[in-house]
């Protein structure tokens, strides 16, 4: 298993088969080729038998020393191999080498799988509890649209034993 830079061909495969990564096309609008064209050095894939098994699209914040994970997904047939964690660790090392001291990511308050994944990584959920008890940052996305915001100091990351 090797992590490699994502190409436009990888991106096209991902968006063509988006439901195999996300269970539906609900995130298709969040996938934009600019992550390859403008942030390609922080966009990664793991391939298996010539197909994208997992990917992570990220960038380095322009306002603080933070690596921001924009999208991460594992193809439904490739789950439970640790690919998501490996991609996070790879990007974390890149971000730290570029002077970042923390990571951030967001998800919807209804995305329980993402919340569980980020908690397993040791990320903190910022904000105040919503009606379901999930910490959210109100109006993060837009007025009336709360998001779960994850944060973690890179120095605090503990690799699983």
Question: How far is the C-alpha of 71 from the C-alpha of 4, rounded, in Å?
Answer: 16
The CATH number of whichever domain residue 111 belongs to comes to 3.40.630.30
The answer to whether 139 and 133 are in contact (CB under 8 A) is: no
Mean pLDDT for the chain?
A: 95
Examine the domain organization and report whether 84 and 108 are in the same domain.
no
Token pair belonging to 155: 């120095």
pLDDT band at 88 (very low <50, low <70, confident <90, very high): very high
Q: Given 100, 126, 143, which residue is the final one in a domain? A: 100
Question: How far is the C-alpha of 42 from the C-alpha of 59, rounded, in Å?
Answer: 6
Is residue 72's pLDDT more than 70?
yes
Examine the domain organization and report whether 96 and 106 are in the same domain.
no
Q: What total of structural domains would you count in the chain?
A: 2
- The per-residue DSSP string of 46-65 comes to EEETTEEEEEEEEEE-SSSS
How many residues does the structure list for the chain?
161
Dihedral of CA atoms 26, 38, 86, 78 in degrees, nearest 10, equals 40
Is residue 70's pLDDT more than 70?
yes
Question: How far is the C-alpha of 140 from the C-alpha of 127, rounded, in Å?
Answer: 10
Token pair belonging to 27: 């995130």
* pLDDT one-digit tens code per residue, 27-44: 999 999 999 999 889 999
Residue among 71, 81, 89 at smallest CA distance from 1: 81
* pLDDT one-digit tens code per residue, 115-129: 999 999 999 999 999
Examine the domain organization and report whether 80 and 108 are in the same domain.
no
Examine the domain organization and report whether 91 and 111 are in the same domain.
no
Examine the domain organization and report whether 8 and 40 are in the same domain.
yes
What is the pLDDT at residue 158? 86
Is residue 143's pLDDT more than 70?
yes
pLDDT band at 156 (very low <50, low <70, confident <90, very high): very high
pLDDT band at 141 (very low <50, low <70, confident <90, very high): confident
Residue among 54, 56, 94, 100 at smallest CA distance from 75: 54
What is the pLDDT at residue 161? 63
Is residue 60's pLDDT more than 90?
yes
Question: How far is the C-alpha of 22 from the C-alpha of 27, rounded, in Å?
Answer: 7
Examine the domain organization and report whether 63 and 137 are in the same domain.
no
What is the pLDDT at residue 39? 87
Q: Given 64, 83, 100, which residue is the final one in a domain? A: 100
What is the pLDDT at residue 106? 96
Strand partners, 52: 47
Examine the domain organization and report whether 93 and 33 are in the same domain.
yes
What is the pLDDT at residue 47? 97
Residue 147 structural domain: 102-161
What does DSSP say about strands 102-107 and 66-74: parallel, antiparallel, or unpaired?
parallel
Examine the domain organization and report whether 74 and 117 are in the same domain.
no
Examine the domain organization and report whether 86 and 125 are in the same domain.
no
Is residue 94's pLDDT more than 70?
yes
């Amino acid at each position: 298993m090797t992590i490699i830079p994502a190409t436009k061909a990888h991106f096209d495969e991902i968006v063509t088969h988006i439901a195999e990564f996300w269970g539906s096309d609900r995130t298709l609008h969040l996938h934009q080729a600019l992550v390859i064209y403008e942030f390609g050095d922080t966009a990664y894939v793991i391939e298996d038998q010539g197909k994208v098994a997992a990917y992570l699209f990220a960038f380095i914040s322009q306002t603080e020393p933070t690596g921001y994970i924009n999208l991460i997904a594992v193809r439904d047939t490739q789950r439970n191999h640790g690919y998501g964690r490996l991609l996070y660790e790879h990007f974390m090392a890149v971000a730290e080498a570029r002077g970042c001291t923390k990571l951030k990511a967001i998800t919807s308050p209804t995305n329980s799988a993402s919340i569980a994944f980020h908690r397993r990584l040791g990320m903190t959920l910022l904000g105040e509890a919503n009606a379901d008890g999930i910490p959210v940052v109100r109006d993060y996305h837009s007025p009336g649209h709360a998001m779960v915001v994850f944060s973690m100091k890179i120095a605090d990351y503990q690799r699983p034993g």
